[in-house]
Amino acid sequence: MGADEAAISSIVEPGKLTKLCELTVEKIHEYVNMLITAGAEVICVLEPTAVMLGPLQFKINKNY
């Protein structure tokens, strides 16, 4: 799902975006754990496309 589709989905099909966020969070946790195991001392995970979402979309997907 591209950034534009994610933004539209957050309004039209929030459940679809929620499922994507769940998968994404799971994969990011796995990746971060691998980085820690490899010795990383500082980790920063950024999502620049999140600026396309408004407060309502963040509230709907507040756990992600």
- Full-model pTM: 0.64
Rounded Cα distance between 32 and 38, Å, is 10
Buried-state track 18-37, b at ≥16 Cβ within 10 A, e below 16: bebbeeeeeeeeeeeeeeee
pLDDT digits over 8-59, tens only?
888 888 888 888 888 888 999 999 999 999 999 999 988 777 677 777 766 6
Which residue has 């950034």 as its token pair? Answer: 3
Rounded Cα distance between 32 and 52, Å, is 25
